[in-house]
Structure 1
């Protein structure tokens, strides 16, 4: 069981056996990071067996499964977080230790503590070939746009700042306004973190974009517009969602012309983020109004396609349709195979760290809802699965805010704001 020390904090190794975990504890390690996906070969114990062995040995355990071609910045940051937050030395493993060392080296280079030109020699000095890490960094430096993600653990939502390094102009996509359903409290912590990032990097906001009216969190579009002055936008079919929910809420005062946003995008419309070309794809199915924003080599699909191990979005909300969702996904999959795909939620299958970036090629190859599936099989799979899912806990809270571009209800005479939602309006009771 050879272990290679990289820093005082981090060591890497190949695949340990379950019985090795107690020995790792005896060597002084506090945390094991597993960077290896399950089912790579029959000999590996798998994450569930490893997690139990770590628990039995008194070790903390973190699961960050990666393959060399699909490492993303989210994986790198999750790896750094696991090392930095551990209560002592960390040992990270994959099959040989190479991917674990790659995650460390990429993070060091991204943060300026190592030059890309020195990465290969760094790996060689420790007995590993990590040319792939240097290649990753070279490719990453050439990508346009720059995409920074902000994960909200409370709603499992991912928000994005998409920027053009040539002009320092950016767009914000699907910002989250904090809401605690138990106390009724609202806050702007998520949005303020986005604004702080923008300020630190001296970016100028050109757009505040919603992909659709969300059912599981409040949109921060209105607050972000107040803070930045940037125009808000959404797909033009939001008017259909407004009409639908106007009836559900018995809300005669609701304007259903989309005027709450500054621009309504039609399918095929184009715009720019700085000097980077962007276009809009109408992507209904999850909702009547869902759109995909394709900005440079990045596509923002939110509740349409999840990470390959997470499948696809549900299609049983009012106005949703699994067959429409299938056709929307097929149109997305016609984008170039190296297109970066950014999802809007991650529910962390098997307890892995949050992830949000994949590619068209990875989706075609590894998403069980899409790879080798026919339209009829997808509709049957999606329909059967959706019947088992309760409605999102915030759907009735959130839609009355989100069909108005994130505007909260106006204060009443006592200065307080009040949400209104109907009883027995939706199927899907928790019991």
Structure 2
């Protein structure tokens, strides 16, 4: 590896593999590759500053020079643990020296430093010395770590790339009690194969952290993945729960599947939460917000300073939930959004899906304040405009590829169909049951 200063005037080596620097020009990319760099990480949001290269241009420049490219955009106030882990994973995956940049290099260095502290390789009190040694302002990392230490609950997200779903473990550090929220049962629609890889990763985390599972929670019957709630109940003995309005979803889909023997009383779960109902995770107070619109049965789990909203709100660059599923309503969704956005601005919002716009790394945590300011489908939008825009957008969307597979499992609390006389289980796919919908390709 050449002297970093000869590659970029402000490049700083901060580990055996990682160099951080201010924004390079596109003409620098060939020099970076010639110097031995194998990958570039951009930590700048697109259009942060006039004249900066776009993520697509950087990706093209890196590819033309034989380097990989990773887009992990952050601002000083919106870094989340998901960004930190994505940064760590990118550095680990790149087979050689890594060039990470933002506007000044401070955010890239902070992502590295936060990860080192979270993993116990650095102590927070060491950051001032590192800041001086690297010549980089690490106040972003210092403030993030102090704020994170006060957060309750502790939240760990698990991203499933097959369905773009996010599963959560929300835990109380004081008692080590936890809730598992929206777990995924792996399903391959091409072969009909079922696996528990995603759910088992959650169980490993629970064991490693010495947590006790107090609840297994679903926000609603999902249309794009199968729920692993029943499987995890069998492994942990923890009660399962969802919202009380799931019975309306059951009745709706009972008709669609022509399934008269389906029990539509919600008895497939151990508990059905009512709107406004209080409960606890360890010593942390929690409350239910009924949040219909995406489905008749959608709820939000408000646990401490964290709200688990699933499809109701996506990340600010991705908008809000679709409302064209059976029982959905754009007007109901607008009303539900108002209830969530009335929470304190620093309330953390954890979404259930991320579709990685512009090819960025998966993200799933925002705040009420960020959503009110930066979500284009919400910020400065009237109720009438929201409904019109949402309904127009929904008409162009194909149905999720697993909706007809998933609903018959998820309205049963994650139970697969009973085996038939030959010992095999079968899913039932109704023909033309969802009306005139856009076709996927």
Deviations 1:361-405 (A, max 9, x none): 110111111111111111111111111110000000000000000
Q: Pick from 116, 119, 139: which aligns with 1:108?
A: 116
CA shift, 1:255, in A, is 0.5
What residue number does 1:90 align with?
98
Q: Any conservation in 2 of the 1:158–1:345 contact (CA below 8 Å)?
A: yes
Tell me if 1:187 matches 2:191.
Answer: no
What residue number does 2:231 align with?
223
Q: Any conservation in 1 of the 2:219–2:299 contact (CA below 8 Å)?
A: yes
Q: Any conservation in 2 of the 1:79–1:104 contact (CA below 8 Å)?
A: yes
Q: Pick from 131, 137, 154: which aligns with 1:146?
A: 154
Q: Any conservation in 2 of the 1:307–1:356 contact (CA below 8 Å)?
A: yes
CA shift, 1:411, in A, is 0.6
Q: Any conservation in 2 of the 1:101–1:123 contact (CA below 8 Å)?
A: no
Q: Pick from 158, 161, 173: which aligns with 2:169?
A: 161
- Describe how 1:2-401 pairs up with structure 2 within 5 A: 2=9, 3-401=11-409
CA shift, 1:120, in A, is 2.4
Segments of structure 2 that go 5 or more residues without pairing to the other structure are 1-7
Instruction: Tell me, in whole angstroms, the C-alpha distance in 1 between the residues paired with 2:423 and 2:229.
Output: 22
Tell me if 1:406 matches 2:414.
Answer: yes
Q: CA RMSD in A?
A: 0.8
Instruction: Tell me, in whole angstroms, the C-alpha distance in 2 between the residues paired with 1:21 and 1:357.
Output: 32
Q: Any conservation in 1 of the 2:107–2:140 contact (CA below 8 Å)?
A: no
CA shift, 1:131, in A, is 1.3
Q: TM-score normalised to the size of structure 2?
A: 0.97
Instruction: Tell me, in whole angstroms, the C-alpha distance in 2 between the residues paired with 1:119 and 1:348.
Output: 31
Question: Alignment partner of 2:238: what SS?
Answer: coil
Deviations 1:181-204 (A, max 9, x none): 000000100111101111111111
Question: Alignment partner of 2:385: what SS?
Answer: helix
Tell me if 1:419 matches 2:421.
Answer: no
CA shift, 1:245, in A, is 0.3
Instruction: Tell me, in whole angstroms, the C-alpha distance in 1 between the residues paired with 2:440 and 2:204.
Output: 38
What residue number does 1:430 align with?
440
Which ranges of 4 or more aligned residues in structure 1 deviate by more than 3 Å?
A: none
Instruction: Tell me, in whole angstroms, the C-alpha distance in 1 between the residues paired with 2:114 and 2:337.
Output: 32
CA shift, 1:430, in A, is 2.7
CA shift, 1:344, in A, is 0.2
Instruction: Tell me, in whole angstroms, the C-alpha distance in 2 between the residues paired with 1:350 and 1:139.
Output: 29
Q: TM-score normalised to the size of structure 1?
A: 0.99
